[in-house]
Amino acid sequence: MIEPTSDHISAANEKANAWRRKQMHALTPEECLALSRQLQQAAIATMRSNPKAVEAFIKRNHHQRRASNVKRLEMEMKHECGLRDE
């Protein structure tokens, strides 16, 4: 069996990405919003299953938020994921 080279892998990835872009461009705005909502719900469900994921999310994104919004965002995420305040 021939081992794939990085060029083969890059070409395959680009082909897959082109196919995904084509599929996304074919969606109506409503379908795009529905897909986005579905992906967001899946991400929240994944975080709900692992409280450490919520903590990691908050830590990773803390620096991206203004200090005045951090506490509000933490409370919302904890509430959505069913965590209690410590």
Quote the DSSP letter at residue 2. Answer: P
> Does residue 59 sit within a domain?
yes
Which two tokens mark 71? 């506490």
> Does residue 79 sit within a domain?
yes
Based on the domain organization, do 45 and 55 belong to the same domain? no
Which two tokens mark 51? 């409280």
Per-residue model confidence (pLDDT) at position 39? 93
The parts of the chain modelled with pLDDT lower than 50 are: none
> Does residue 3 sit within a domain?
no
Based on the domain organization, do 39 and 63 belong to the same domain? no
Per-residue model confidence (pLDDT) at position 40? 92
Per-residue model confidence (pLDDT) at position 67? 62
Q: Return the closest-CA partner of residue 69 out of 52, 84, 77, 46.
A: 77
Per-residue model confidence (pLDDT) at position 64? 63
State how many domains the chain has: 2
Which two tokens mark 10? 């890059």
Cα pseudo-dihedral 25, 31, 32, 37, rounded to 10: -160
Domain that holds residue 85: 51-86
Per-residue model confidence (pLDDT) at position 68? 62
Based on the domain organization, do 13 and 45 belong to the same domain? yes
